[in-house]
Amino acid sequence: MALASRFPDVEIPELSVPQFVLAGAAERADRPALVDGLSGETITHGELAFYVERMAAALAARGVVKGDVVAVFSPNTIWYPVVFHGIAAAGAVISPINALYTPEEIAFQLKDSGAKLLVTVSPFLDRALAAVQSAPVDEVIVMDGAEGHASLRDLLTSDAPAVQVDIDPAEDLVTLPYSSGTTGLPKGVMLTHRNLVANVAQCRPLFDLHEGDERVIAVLPFFHIYGLTVLMNQGLAWGCSVVTLPRFDLEQFLRTIQDQRVTRAYVAPPILVALAKHPLVDSFDLSSLRTITSGAAPLDESLAHAVETRLRRGASDGVAVSQGYGMTELSPVSHTTPEAGHEPAGAGPTPKGTVGYALPNTECRLIDPATGEDAAPGERGELWVRGPQVMKGYLNNAQATAETLDAEGWLHTGDVAVVDDEGRYTVVDRVKELIKYKGYQVAPAELEAVLLGNPEIADAAVIGVQDAESGEELPKAFVVRAPGSQITAEAVQAYAAERLAPHKKIRLVEFIEQVPKSMAGKILRKDLKNRA
Ligand code: 4UW
């Protein structure tokens, strides 16, 4: 039984992502669109639209055509949105690469996505060049410039003729982020222009925007779908100033909120832990903040209350802390908490342990994994989602697509949720393999594949175990030593750490005689969880 959204449907404009996001740029041409939180350097909404047009023209002049994939490997900067929308306006597809990736991880994504160009920044050039040795691309563009490479300045000042690419929003891809989904290795998630346009349009009725007076802090990375849609595209489409930070540093984060008078923060739970507990927080004036929304991993209700209480100081009305829920395959938002006064008709405040309501145009089902039937009212079940934000599928992987997205359009999330009588959802468990470490994806299959590359390791299985103190999920490897091997836990960890980004580090190791497997050879992760 489909559970309808408690909100009326919204209309989804038939526009490409750049057309939609830049639609209001001329009206607010002189207002800051992007502000560098550290240097104060600014791009206005008018300049943004101009640069995007130039970027698209320059890419077309370099031979980029509709459907080509361009990989972007960069931390957050004010130029990232210029690059993103320039590529999109040229009809090409952006595959965003995690800024922490090793050359091996970058090469995997370049090859799998079939990227034609790679856009990066000079501090990342060593890793980028190491990656393209095994995954060649036509050209590496270095945004801030480097000897022998075209820079963003070169592209934006070229006199290439303007381009008009015909885009079918419902069919054509705009971005290809990577996600392991419910099982296996990271896969390219095919998101269309319509997916991303819809997701911003769907969130709009839940927010009380102060037109022309909203500043959003973009510390979560644009290379992750949460930052890409919620900070970059939503922020710019709604006419906010998006204040970028290249990485999370608590003091810079607090200082930037204070100095830029930031009104909204979208974060992951570890940042809320710092806001609740760290002494530095008291040294800054955070009274401009109106909302803090958390997502990407479970948020403890008491932590949300602790942050509200701590920040409710002085003359300020304080800040509302709440939760949303999303997944790369959902562009990413399916659920969020409306701002006070924007709840569905008749509903009261949204409890902080919940992830809020299904967005407009979004249907849900909760399926009892034991029976495959709809869960009884009030009972838990696997969350299925259907709506215009649901991905088109996984790139070149019909089987994984069919396992996740059924014939009726339901996306099986692999998360377990309950819904209350008012239509508010709480995420209570995860039945998929995926591990979340500080909000980042860690795919057990990827770690297992790396470990199996070590001749001293005969077999390996990875699961997430809850750390009682931090509440984080820690990747734990069960390792079977090869005959004669005396490999230590430290050596296992070091071997993986050399090849994988820091968030994928193996935090715990246990040696075992045999990895428990089903008759079909599938790792019995439940048995390992019980053992851990
Ligand atoms: N509670 C418990 C949550 C929650 C959660 C996510 O890396 P991905 O694919 O994607 C994300 C997206 C997060 C997100 C996007 C937009 C948004 O508004 C918002 O809230 C403000 C969050 O993380 O990982 C997807 C997986 O992350 C877990 C869950 O397992 C999901 O399938 N997850 N949000 N609030 N778990």
Rounded mean pLDDT of 117-137? 98
Domain count, the chain: 2
Residue 42 inside a domain? The answer is yes
Q: Quote the tokens at residue 340.
A: 């006070």
Whether residue 211 lies inside any domain: the answer is yes
Which helix (H) or strand (E) is 323 found in, with range?
Answer: strand 320-326
Residue 174 has pLDDT above 60, yes or no: yes
Using CA atoms, how far apart are residues 58 and 60, in angstroms rounded to an integer?
Answer: 5
Distance 458 CA to ligand 1 centre (A): 34
Q: Do 287 and 186 share a domain, yes or no?
A: yes
Instruction: Give the three-class secondary structure for 210.
Output: coil
Lining ligand 1 with CB less than 6 A are 179, 225-226, 230, 266, 293, 295-298, 323-328, 332-333, 336, 355, 413, 415, 427, 430, 436, 441
Whether residues 342 and 487 fall in one domain: no
- Grouping H, G, I as helix, E, B as strand and the rest as coil, residue 413 is strand
290 and 397, same structural domain? yes
- Tell whether 357 and 297 lie within a shared domain: yes
Alpha carbon of residue 202 to chain centroid: 17
Whether residues 375 and 456 share a domain: the answer is no
The 10 Å Cβ neighbour count of residue 284 is: 16
Same domain, 380 and 448: no
CA 236 to centroid of ligand 1, rounded, Å: 21
**Residue with the nearest Cα to atom 23 of ligand 1?**
296
Query: Which of 415, 442, 477 represents a domain boundary (last residue)?
Result: 415
Q: What is the pLDDT of residues 54-81, one digit of tens each?
A: 999 999 999 999 999 999 999 999 999 9
Q: What mean pLDDT is predicted for residues 29-37?
A: 98
Let me know: does 14 contact 169? Beta carbons within 8 Å.
yes
To the nearest whole percent, how much of the chain has pLDDT over 70? Answer: 99
**Residues 155, 141: contact at Cβ < 8 Å?**
yes
pLDDT at 316: 58
Q: How confident is the model at residue 471, as a pLDDT?
A: 84
For the segment 11-23, what is each residue's pLDDT rounded down to a tens digit?
999 999 999 999 9
The answer to whether residue 99 is domain-embedded is yes
CATH number of the structural domain spanning residue 523: 3.30.300.30
Q: Hey, which of 199, 436, 442, 472 would you mutate to test ligand 1's pocket, going by the most ligand atoms within 8 Å of its Cβ?
A: 436
**Contact criterion met (CB below 8 Å) for 225 and 326:** yes
Greatest C-alpha distance within the chain: 71
86 with 225, same domain?
yes
Residues 394, 469: one domain? no
Nearest to 220 by CA among 246, 197, 238, 240: 246
Are 528 and 463 in contact by the 8 Å Cβ rule? The answer is yes
- Check which CATH number belongs to the domain holding 381 and give it: 3.40.50.12780
Structure tokens at 314: 């002085």
In this predicted model, what pLDDT tens digit does every residue of 411-443 receive, in sequence order? 999 999 999 999 999 999 999 999 999 999 999
For residue 342, what pLDDT band results from cuts at 50, 70 and 90?
very high
pLDDT digits (tens, 9 = 90+) for 230-286: 999 999 999 999 999 999 999 999 999 999 999 999 999 999 999 999 999 999 999
Specify if 8 maps to a domain: no
Q: CA 62 to CA 516: how far, in whole Å?
A: 52
Q: Answer whether residue 465 is part of any domain.
A: yes
Residue 183's pLDDT band (cuts 50, 70, 90): very high
Assigned domain for 423 exists: no
Please indicate, yes or no, if residue 141 is contained in any of the structural domains.
Answer: yes
The pLDDT, as a whole number, for residue 246 is: 98
* Structure tokens, 134: 């095994």
Cα distance from N-terminal residue to C-terminal residue, the chain: 36
Res. 531 pLDDT band, cuts 50 70 90: confident
Domain extent at residue 69: 13-415
Same domain, 411 and 460: no
Average pLDDT, the chain: 97
Q: Identify whether the C-beta of residue 420 lies closer than 8 Å to the C-beta of residue 335.
A: no
Residue nearest to atom 22 of ligand 1 (CA): 295
**How many C-beta neighbours within 10 Å does residue 306 have?**
17
Q: Do 369 and 460 fall within a single domain? A: no
- Domain presence at residue 427: no
Distance 60 CA to ligand 1 centre (A): 35
For residues 313 and 451, state if they share a domain: no
pLDDT of residue 470: 83
In ligand 1, the atom with minimum distance to the C-alpha of 229 is 16
* Ligand 1 center–CA 241 separation, angstroms: 24
pLDDT band at 1, cuts 50/70/90? Answer: confident
For residue 336, report the distance from its CA to the centre of ligand 1, in Å. 11
Predicted pLDDT at 314: 54
Examine the pLDDT at 208 and tell me if it is beyond 70.
yes
pLDDT for 128 beyond 80: yes
Tell me how far the alpha carbon of residue 122 lies from the centroid of ligand 1, in angstroms: 31
State the distance from the centre of ligand 1 to the C-alpha of 389, rounded, in angstroms: 14
Looking at the fold, whether 409 and 449 belong to one and the same domain comes out as no
Which residue's CA lies nearest to atom 24 of ligand 1? 327
Atom 27 of ligand 1, residue of closest alpha carbon = 296
